[in-house]
Amino acid sequence: AQKITQTQPGMFVQEKEAVTLDCTYDTSDQSYGLFWYKQPSSGEMIFLIYQGSYDEQNATEGRYSLNFQKARKSANLVISASQLGDSAMYFCAMREAGAGSYQLTFGKGTKLSVIP
């Protein structure tokens, strides 16, 4: 079973509108971290936002917020007031705290296109 599932291969959003990118995850660990990264066409993975499994409040960073629903194992990224520069691939990733688990496990990504 996939550990990270992103079901939207591509999304379109009008400039200045909000958009939600979906992410569900699968883990038996109680302690884990969830991350969102942005990858523009230049290729670099840019860290956007982090949510810890024990955090009671949803994480926010500027125009980015993470809608964390632990019981549903869901960690959706919400981008408010979309800008043309938000057009990119977006990856959801998880890091489990179990012994020896140091790496990030990524989903397949969602390509976001912002329309003027």
- In the complex, which residues of this chain contact another protein (CB under 8 A)? 4, 31-33, 35, 37, 42-47, 50, 52-53, 91, 93, 95-97, 100, 102-109
| Cβ 91 to another protein shortest distance, Å | 5
CB 79 to another protein: min, Å: 19
CA-CA distance, 67 to 23, in Å (whole number)? 10
Fill in the amino acid letter for 87: S
Compute how many other C-beta atoms are within 10 angstroms of the C-beta atom of residue 116.
6
Nearer CB in complex with another protein: 82/90: 90
Name the phi and psi angles at 21, rounded to 5.
Answer: -105, 130
